[in-house]
A = this chain, B = another copy of it.
């Protein structure tokens, strides 16, 4: 059970290996890596800066992880989220879930990334060639994705 909030990049292979090392009770590991995506010209993205709320970010990600563990039988779980200034193609976030059963791993992974988008206290400032600097609005589609896990 691990939550990391950091400026540095992370090694996806090493992170996933860490979930299963020395264990033989895990049937599947699901993961999602979110990346900084460029936009179509003329609105090319120069960089994206992620501001966050130190202290609350770690607390909120830990709460999300506890919620996933309460809902699905997970062997292990990992969330790494970066902050600071990132350029297109860079990794932002890793969510990984390990379980004896593939459905639990897949569903918990989707749940965590959907909820993280609407619950973790991050804000994105885009710098684009055409429009300069601009705070990214929250998306209604993210609220809908998170809402489907309520019930």
**Number of chain copies forming the complex:** 2
Residue among B25, B32, B102 making CB contact with A102, cutoff 8 Å: B32
- A36–B37 Cα distance when bound, in Å, is 35
Check A37/B17 contact, CB under 8 A, given A29-B32, A30-B31, A103-B145: no
Interface of A is mostly: mixed
CB of A32 within 8 A of CB of B23, answer: no
CB of A37 within 8 A of CB of B14, answer: no
- Proximity bits, A30-57, B CB within 8 Å = 1, else 0: 1111111110000000000000000000
Residue among B37, B100, B103, B106 making CB contact with A24, cutoff 8 Å: B37
Chain A interface residue count, CB cutoff 8 Å, equals: 34
- Proximity bits, A87-122, B CB within 8 Å = 1, else 0: 011000000000010110110011001000000000
Chain A contacts to B: CB under 8 angstroms? 11-14, 16-17, 20, 23-38, 88-89, 100, 102-103, 105-106, 109-110, 113, 145
Given contacts A11-B13, A25-B37, A102-B113, 15 further A-B contacts (CB under 8 A): A12-B16, A12-B17, A13-B13, A13-B17, A16-B33, A28-B32, A29-B33, A31-B31, A32-B102, A32-B106, A37-B100, A103-B145, A106-B109, A106-B110, A106-B113
